[in-house]
Chain A
Amino acid sequence: MDIEKFVQEFANQFDMVPAEEFTPETHFKENEEWDSMTALSIIAMADDSYNVRLTGDDIRTSVTVQDIFDIVVSKVK
C-alpha cells in the first residue's frame, strides 16, 4: 500500500479542508470538521478502496493518519 495515495484518499473525506493540508502525521481529530459522519466516511473509504472493515475502536485509538494507515495495512488480506 502507498501511504501518499492513502493520505490523499483520507483527505478526500473532508469537504472543507484542502487535501494538501494532510500528511501522515496529521492529528485528524483536531480538525474542526471532524465528526461522526467524517469517521463514517473514513470507514467507508477503507471498505470501498481496501476491502477492510475499520471498527469504532480502530477510530477511537487512532491519532494520526499514519495510525489509520497502519491498521488498514494490518487488516488487508
Chain B
Amino acid sequence: MQFPVSKYGFVFRMVEESDAEFILSLRTNDKLAKHLSPTEGDLDGQIAWIKSYKQREARGEEYYFLFESQTGQGLGVIRLYNFEGDSYTAGSWLTNPGADEMTAFASDAFAMDLAFDELGFSKCLIDVRKQNVKVLRYHKRFFKQIAEDADNIYMEMDRDGFQRKHQFLNSILQP
C-alpha cells in the first residue's frame, strides 16, 4: 500500500519524527490521558521513541499511523504492533477531542482493514482499561474476552469478528 492513503474523507500516513509534538499533545491531553500509561511531557523523549519506532517500521515489525484532515490538520494516531504469527495488537488509539465524532471509527476501520486484508493477519489482540467503559462496550460487540487482571480486560477478534466489524463500520462511515 502506498502512503499517504485517502479513505473515509481522511488522510492516513506513517508517523514521522516531526509529529512528536502533536502526539505528545494527545498523550498529555487531560481528557485522553485518563486511560493511558503515564506519559512524561518530554518532547525529546517522544522524538527518540519515534526514531526507534522508524527502525521497527523499516523492518516491517510495527506500523504507527497518523490520520489528518484533507487540509493537513492532525486528528489522531493508531498503532499496529506485536506481530506474532497470525496475530497483531492494535493500540495507542487517540483522537483529538475536537475531531468529528466519526473520525475515531474511520481510523479504526482503516487500521483493521490494513491488518486483515493487506498484512494478512487473522487475529487482533487488544487490552483495555476496565475503567474505560465506553471503549470496552464498543470492542465487546466484536471481540471475545480472553483474560483479565485487576486493571485490564484482554480481548481477541478473529476473522469472523473482523468481517462483522468491517460491515458495521462501513455502514456508518462515509465511503
Residues of A within 8 A of B (CB): 15, 35-41, 43-44, 53-57, 59-60
Contact = CB atoms under 8 A, between A and B. Distances in A.
A54 B172 contact: yes
Interface in B99-150: 99-105, 133-135, 137-138, 141
Contacts of A57: 174
Interface string B133-175: 1110110010000000000000000000000000000011110
A56 B174 contact: yes
Contacts, number: 49
Q: How large is the interface on B (under 10, 10 to 19, 20 to 34, 35 or more residues)?
A: 20 to 34
Contacts of B103: 36
B45 interface: no
Contacts of B97: 35
Contacts of B135: 37
B21 to A, nearest CB: 23
